[in-house]
Structures are given as C-alpha cells and as structure tokens.
Amino acid sequence: MNCKLVTLALLISQVGFAESQYTHWINYTAANGMPDDKVTSVAIDHERVWAGTENGLVLLVGGRIERVFQPADGLAHRFVTGVAVDSKTGDVWISTFGGLSQYSGGHFHNYSSSSSGLANDIVYGVGLQGDNVWAATTAGISRLNVRTGEWTVFSERNAPLHEPWSYGISVSDKKVYVAVWGGGMLEFDIAGEYWKPYNDPDGEMEIVLFRNQGLIHDIVSSVSWNPDSKMVWASTYFGLSGYDGRNWHNYLSTDSGVASDFINAAKSVGPYVWACTDKGLSRLNFKDNTWETYRVNAQSGRGEIIMTDGNGKVTKRETLTALAHSYILNIDVQNDDIWVATAKGLSHGTISHKENESHANLRSRR
C-alpha cells in the first residue's frame, strides 16, 4: 500500500479514537459554590445532578449549583455517602453517616436504626429495585418495601456475610449485588429470596495468586451491574473484577491499563467500564481491551490522557482542561456526559470535538 495511504488510514483511526475522549472539563469546588471539596458520590437524573459531599447534598440543574441541603434542611446527616434517584417517582434516596434520607415532594423523611428497621445509622450505599430500597450499612444489609413499609435485615445470622460491613449496592431486574468490606461480593436472587457469595479463591488478603479464577479480592469497595453486557463489576483495593455469569475477567495495574489497583468505585455502561482509582479515572473498552486514564498532569496542571491499546502500547496526550483532582471517588454517566466525584471537587467531562480536531491537525503536521 502507498505510504501516504497508510499514513492517512492511521490518522483517521487516531481521529476516530480521539473523538470519543473527554477533553473538556468544568470543575465545581468550594471556591465556586460547593459546600465541601471532597465529593463522595454523584447521580445524574436527566438535567439534574445530585452530588454527595462530606458537608451536605448538592443539587445542580443545567450545570449550575441550584441548592445545597444540610441537616438544617432535614437531611439525616451532613456526610453523604451515596445517592440514588427513583426513575418512576423522582424521589431521591440518600445514604449518610446518620441514617437513610428520602427526599420527596420538597421534603425529607429520615430512617434511623432507632426509628425504623435500618440495621445501622452508618449507611455507605443505597440501591433501588422495584418497590424495595436497599441500604448497605456497617451492620448488614437493610431492605425497605416502600409499598408495605416492611423492613428486612440481612446479617451474618441469615446471610453468608463473613463481615457485616456492607459497602455498596447495585441492582438488576433479577439480582441484587452487594459489595462487602472483607467479605467479597454477595448476589441476592430476587425471585428465590436467597444469597450466593463470591469470594477470593486464594484467600490471600495481601496478594493475588489466581488471576481469572474468581473475584480478585475480598475487600470490595463497590459493585456495578451492566444491563447491556449482562455483567457485574466489582472494584477492590487490589484490582478490578468482572463476572459474566460463567467467567471472571480480572485486571491489575501491572498487566492492563488501569491506573492503580486501589479502586474506590466502578461503573459499567455499554461497552465501557470506569474505574475510580487513587491515581486517575480509567476507562476500559471491554470489546477491544483498550484503556484510557484521565488525570491531572502534576507539572503543567493540565489534563492528561494515557491510552493503552490491546497490545499494551502506551501513548499520551494533553488537554487544556483537567479533572479537579486525580483521586477519584465516584462517577455517573449519561450518554456522552460524565460527572466525576473527586477528593478536591466535582468534575463534569464532555467530549470536545473542536479540541479533538485541533489535536488531530497537530498530529497530521507532525
């Protein structure tokens, strides 16, 4: 093939790859209206975005901070750990360090261990499944049926919980998945009302011996069900695990493009899996095994994208804007928009085609 044609084909492929990258970032911090820089959680509800911080719940509408909710407004506790929005009713459920809050019709209704069937007031995650609200607490898993008002508590007495410290919830139409700190991942069958545990097969808390023979580690920080791929993903402090119902797919920083093995949360949508790590935001395209990591360049302060192809080849590019911080705690995705919770602010990432075009022109001149 003609050398010019080869070069043109390569440029076209590079431009196509770049067009799917997030190169434009807007950050929200304490300097421009956030109640706290540390953002723990985020949930997108069409044009509304809900962000949990260590000092209240933030509502953004159309990219602007609309309101901040704190205990004086009825929120159960100022430290918000998770947010879930009911697509049918519009109600917002908030997990906090002081119980579970329901925001409905402009008012809060709170649930605590002393006033309801909540297992513990320290609630790390919340998930919605039909008429049921699931809460991950430090003393087990609580389920509230909002139609009947009935509570069910799952602890080491009636569930395979090696540790009661539950950390995150993700639901599908048939299953509920729970991340357990030191206890692996639990799967609840909704129709059969029974639990199935998934644990690290080697039992080693410090190292990974068997790469794809099971859950990569028992310290699971979050779970994410993907309705498109029918896979569940578990983030741990020792790597990333995906399960397709038959096989495990595990990733370490030493053998993949994930930025770090210390992963605070995972989110899987379409062909992508996002890993929120302590060294950047990594995205895996599961179909072609390519990776991108978004982080702040320590020297320039600009954005940096680290790309790893299916053969392990690494390339880098710089962007004019960057995430608020490279320590990532949570993420939510809606179409091409991503909202990222970091240790130093909330970041909104979009695909800037103008910047990608300039980048492509620069590469063509080279």
Structural domains of the chain, ranges and CATH numbers in brackets: 3-365 (2.130.10.10)
Structure tokens at 127: 């998930």
Ordered alpha helix ranges (H), 124-256 = none
Pairing of strands 248-251, 151-154: unpaired
Judged on CB neighbours under 10 Å (0-12, 13-18, 19+), 67 is exposed
Q: In what order do the strands lie in the sheet with 99-104?
A: 80-85, 92-96, 99-104, 107-111
User: Can you tell me the distance from the alpha carbon of 224 to that of 294, in angstroms, rounded to the nearest whole number?
Assistant: 20
Q: What is the pLDDT of residue 140?
A: 97
Q: Measured between alpha carbons, how far is residue 245 from residues 71, 198, 219, 234, 268 in Å?
A: 42, 12, 20, 13, 16
Lowest mean pLDDT segment, chosen from 59-73, 129-143, 199-213 = 199-213
Residue 274's identity, in one-letter code, is W
Residues linked to residue 42 through DSSP beta bridges, in sequence order:
51
Percent with pLDDT over 90 in the chain: 85
User: Can you tell me the distance from the alpha carbon of 111 to that of 114, in angstroms, rounded to the nearest whole number?
Assistant: 8
User: What is the tens place of the pLDDT at every residue in 28-57?
Assistant: 999 999 999 999 999 999 999 999 999 999
- Position 100 pLDDT exceeds 90: yes
What mean pLDDT do residues 93-108 have?
97
Number of other CB atoms surrounding residue 331 within 10 Å: 26
239 within 8 A of 263, measured Cβ to Cβ: yes
- Position 365 pLDDT exceeds 60: no
How is residue 289 annotated by DSSP?
T
Residue 103's identity, in one-letter code, is Y
Residue 210's pLDDT band (cuts 50, 70, 90): low
